[in-house]
Amino acid sequence: MTLTVKLRDLDDEPAYFRAEDVAPATLDLDTHDEMLQAESLSYELEVQKSDEGLLVTGDISVQLNCHCVRCLKSFKILHELPGYACEIPMEGEEKVSIDNNSADLTPFVREDILLGLPQHPLCRTDCRGLLQKPPGKASLSEGKGRTEKTSSAWSELNKLKFEEE
């Protein structure tokens, strides 16, 4: 299924689209990211003709199932695009595809949704990630019972002595 509008219907008044809990496959919302998967989509859009093409306005929301990139914890967020607006050209290089007097708005809406998705989802803004052993410190289980500073690679290289021939 695609998001299409008949152009002749836009001559007199705007067209309205409303849908709730739509499958992401409807708009081909595959993120190709194992940390971020779209679960459902809801939108309320108005489409009207403008001087240069079609003007799409409204609200879009996508329910996302995410995995935190720091701690790998699973969580859900609602990604919203309130006050969404897009001018879709009718002519030129990036014009809308028209088939049988119907304009396909799907690629434009899909692109704007995908561009707004979080690139690195975090369960909390202050997520500290997985617990790790601090670098450069020996643990008690290693039998040293004290902490040591590790030397840097540069200090080790400085210890090298070269003989001249």
pLDDT in 10s for each residue of the chain, 165 residues: 578 888 888 888 898 989 888 888 878 887 778 888 989 999 999 999 988 889 999 999 999 999 999 999 999 999 999 999 999 998 888 888 888 888 888 899 989 998 888 888 999 989 888 776 666 655 555 544 444 556 677 888 888 877 776
Query: Both ends of the chain: CA-CA distance in Å?
Result: 79
Q: What is the pLDDT of residue 149?
A: 59
Q: What is the pLDDT of residue 146?
A: 45
Q: Tell me 70's DSSP state.
A: T
Domain boundaries, the chain: 4-116
Amino acid type, 151:
S
Indicate the pTM of the whole model: 0.69
Other CB atoms within 10 A of residue 23 CB:
12
Q: Taking the C-alpha atoms of 34, 74, 29 and 10 in order, what is their torsion angle to the nearest 10 degrees?
A: -160
Q: What is the pLDDT of residue 142?
A: 52
Contact 44, 58 (CB under 8 A): yes
Q: What is the pLDDT of residue 147?
A: 47
Q: Taking the C-alpha atoms of 35, 37, 42 and 47 in order, what is their torsion angle to the nearest 10 degrees?
A: 90
Q: pLDDT tens across 102-136, in order?
A: 888 889 998 999 888 888 899 998 988 877 666 66
Alpha carbons within 13 angstroms on the beta-carbon side of residue 5 total 24
Q: What is the pLDDT of residue 134?
A: 63
- Report how far residue 2's alpha carbon sits from residue 102's, in angstroms, rounded to the nearest whole number: 11
Q: What is the pLDDT of residue 67?
A: 93
- Report how far residue 45's alpha carbon sits from residue 59's, in angstroms, rounded to the nearest whole number: 6
Q: What is the CA radius of gyration of the chain?
A: 27
- Report how far residue 53's alpha carbon sits from residue 4's, in angstroms, rounded to the nearest whole number: 14
DSSP-assigned beta bridge partners for residue 24: none
Find where tokens 């996302």 sit.
64
